[in-house]
């Protein structure tokens, strides 16, 4: 196995010495929940200032329109924040996409807003691991890459989107656009506390299914009504019965109903389905079609399905295995053991893989308890992961790809 050259060691030291922790502390101190447009704008400005140190033009890209069904069954538009994009050397022979997200799951009114040290080297705070730390690693690795004599062999696009935590509906088109023609992609979700990476991932689809019945007096003539709430409950049970080894189904909520003396004429079922493979996703789509048709017929209601599979399944193909192998070998050169395993979570790596681009989507530092007020970052892993990313990019440049 090769070892880093003296020139590469110098570049790797450059990555490890980057001021990542102060960046994370500044960025995570600003609430950037997906719906907090003011906070996202502030963070986007801070990130743009940071990435402006790299060659190429930093731009803020307007989000695509996003629709949502409210509790009254109305389809409304939702505003999202702007996305940050940087393009460097688009004509280089090797092209890589690096992605992260600036949003967190913690809204502006969430009680989890501050940072604290749980113990030396373990920083607790909103978005520390997921994923302000990952963004700092991207910047550190690319700054180091620009100090390498091999930099002209590789070009890259960086995308930091504003809506990953809610499914990337406002950035999915941009992700697909930037993924075109890429040799490989690296996404900076946090690695597990022991350093393990996420391998194969299921897909994920979120659906809001609106059921329209007919109102009637609950005492005088209930038989003239069509109970949308009962229809929604039946639909939840039918879809739950579609579970399979490769398909997880989670009926999460039913909105609707009203006064006890009125047969409810409106209900909305919110449901999440997670297929492991494209075939499982096909099964899930058919299960929705069959269940909805059955409920419409049996309850004499009308249903409208809103939503879809915004995260396709991410199996590990041959090219993805090669990229994981390259990251593993780079880790071995640096004394960092690298392993990966399947996970039930989803991320932008799903969308990138669906474009036919091999991706490793947990290149961020080690951390854990994400999406909770116990979220933590292991700060000693910042330097190791910055060096791992830098060496991976250098190897891609030197090899001319995978």
Q: Work out whether strand 266-275 and strand 204-212 pair parallel, antiparallel, or are unpaired.
A: antiparallel
Domains parsed from the chain with CATH numbers: 6-201+314-399 (3.40.630.10), 204-311 (3.30.70.360)
**Could you tell me if 316 and 199 are in contact, meaning their C-beta atoms sit under 8 angstroms apart?**
yes
Instruction: Write down the pLDDT at residue 6.
Output: 86
- 364 contact partners, CB below 8 Å, separation of at least 6: 100, 129, 131, 133, 134, 137, 188, 189, 190, 191, 385
Strand partners, 368: 376
DSSP state, residue 55? S
pLDDT at 247: 97
Q: Would you give per-residue pLDDT tens digits along the chain (402 residues)?
A: 578 888 899 999 999 999 999 999 999 999 999 999 999 999 999 999 999 999 999 999 999 999 999 999 999 999 999 999 999 999 999 999 999 999 999 999 999 999 999 999 999 999 999 999 999 999 999 999 999 999 999 999 999 999 999 999 999 999 999 999 999 999 999 999 999 999 999 999 999 999 999 999 999 999 999 999 999 999 999 999 999 999 999 999 999 999 999 999 999 999 999 999 999 999 999 999 999 999 999 999 999 999 999 999 999 999 999 999 999 999 999 999 999 999 999 999 999 999 999 999 999 999 999 999 999 999 999 999 999 999 999 999 999 999
pLDDT the model gives residue 1: 58
Return d(Cα 197, Cα 189) in angstroms, integer: 9
Asked if 350 contacts 310 with a C-beta cutoff of 8 angstroms, the reply is no
Answer yes or no: are the C-beta atoms of 199 and 342 closer than 8 Å.
Answer: yes
3-state DSSP of 154-175:
EEEEEEEECCHHHCCCCCHHHH
User: For the chain, how big is the Rg over CA atoms in Å?
Assistant: 23
Which of 189, 155, 159 is CA-nearest to residue 176? 159
What was the pLDDT predicted at 3? 81
| Residue in the block written with tokens 């006064």 | 259
Rounded to whole angstroms, the Cα distance separating 174 from 165 reads 16
Tell how far CA 160 is from the center of its chain: 11
Q: In degrees rounded to 5, what are phi and psi of residue 122?
A: -125, 105
Q: What is the enclosing helix (H) or strand (E) of 59? A: strand 57-61
**Entry pTM:** 0.95
How far apart CA 191 and CA 390 sit, in angstroms, is 16
Which run of H or of E encompasses 331? helix 318-333
pLDDT value of position 332: 97
How many CB atoms are located within 10 Å of the residue 82 CB? 21
- Record the tokens describing residue 171, joined without a space: 């950035």
- Other beta carbons within 10 angstroms of residue 330's beta carbon come to 23
152 vs 360: CA distance, rounded Å: 23
Q: How far apart are CA 314 and CA 118, in angstroms?
A: 35
Distance CA 38, CA 33 (A): 10
Q: Are 216 and 222 in contact (CB under 8 A)?
A: yes
Coil, strand, or helix at residue 3?
coil
CA distance linking residue 181 with residue 168, whole number of Å: 21
Six token digits for residue 167: 């499914």
To the nearest 10°, the Cα dihedral for 256, 260, 262, 264? 20
Could you give the CA distance from residue 176 to residue 205 in angstroms, rounded to a whole number?
18
Alpha-carbon span 211 to 263, nearest angstrom: 13
Contact (Cβ atoms closer than 8 angstroms) between residue 239 and residue 207: no
Question: Which uninterrupted H or E stretch holds 330?
Answer: helix 318-333
User: Which DSSP state fits 342?
Assistant: -
């Amino acid at each position: 196995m090769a070892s880093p050259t003296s020139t590469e060691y110098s570049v790797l030291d450059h990555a490890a010495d980057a001021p990542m922790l102060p960046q994370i502390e500044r960025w995570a101190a600003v609430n950037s929940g997906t719906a907090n447009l003011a906070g996202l704008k502030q963070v986007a400005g801070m990130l743009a200032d940071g990435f402006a140190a790299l060659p190429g033009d930093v731009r803020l890209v307007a989000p695509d329109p996003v629709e949502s069904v409210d509790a009254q069954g109305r389809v409304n538009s939702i505003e999202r924040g702007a996305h940050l994009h940087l393009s460097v050397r688009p004509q280089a022979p090797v092209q890589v996409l690096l992605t992260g997200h600036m949003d967190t799951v913690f809204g502006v009114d969430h009680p989890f807003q501050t940072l604290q040290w749980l113990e030396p080297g373990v920083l607790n705070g909103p978005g520390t691991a997921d994923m302000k730390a990952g963004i700092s690693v991207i910047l550190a690795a690319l700054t180091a890459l620009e100090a390498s004599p091999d930099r002209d062999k590789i070009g890259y696009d960086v995308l930091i989107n504003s809506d990953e935590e809610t499914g990337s509906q406002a950035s999915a088109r941009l992700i697909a656009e930037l993924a075109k023609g890429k040799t490989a992609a690296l996404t900076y979700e946090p690695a597990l506390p022991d350093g393990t990476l996420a391998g194969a991932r299921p897909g994920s689809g979120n659906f809001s299914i609106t059921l329209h019945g007919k109102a009637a007096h609950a005492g005088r003539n209930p038989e003239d009504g069509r109970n949308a709430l009962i229809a929604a409950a039946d639909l939840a049970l039918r879809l739950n019965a579609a579970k399979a080894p490769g398909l997880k189904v989670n009926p999460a909520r039913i909105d609707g109903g009203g006064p006890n003396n009125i047969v409810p004429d409106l209900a909305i079922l919110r449901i999440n389905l997670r297929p492991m493979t494209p075939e499982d996703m096909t099964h899930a789509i058919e299960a929705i079609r069959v269940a909805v048709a059955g409920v419409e017929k049996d309850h004499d209601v009308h249903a409208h399905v809103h939503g879809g599979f915004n995260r396709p399944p991410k199996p590990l193909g041959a090219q993805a295995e090669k990229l994981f192998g390259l990251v593993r070998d780079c880790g071995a050169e640096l004394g960092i053991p690298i392993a990966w395993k399947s996970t039930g979570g989803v991320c932008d790596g799903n969308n990138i893989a669906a474009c036919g681009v091999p991706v490793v989507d947990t290149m961020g530092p080690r951390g854990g308890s994400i999406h909770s007020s116990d979220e933590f970052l292991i700060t000693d892993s910042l330097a190791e992961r910055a060096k791992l990313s830098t060496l991976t990019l250098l190897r891609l440049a030197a090899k001319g790809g995978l």
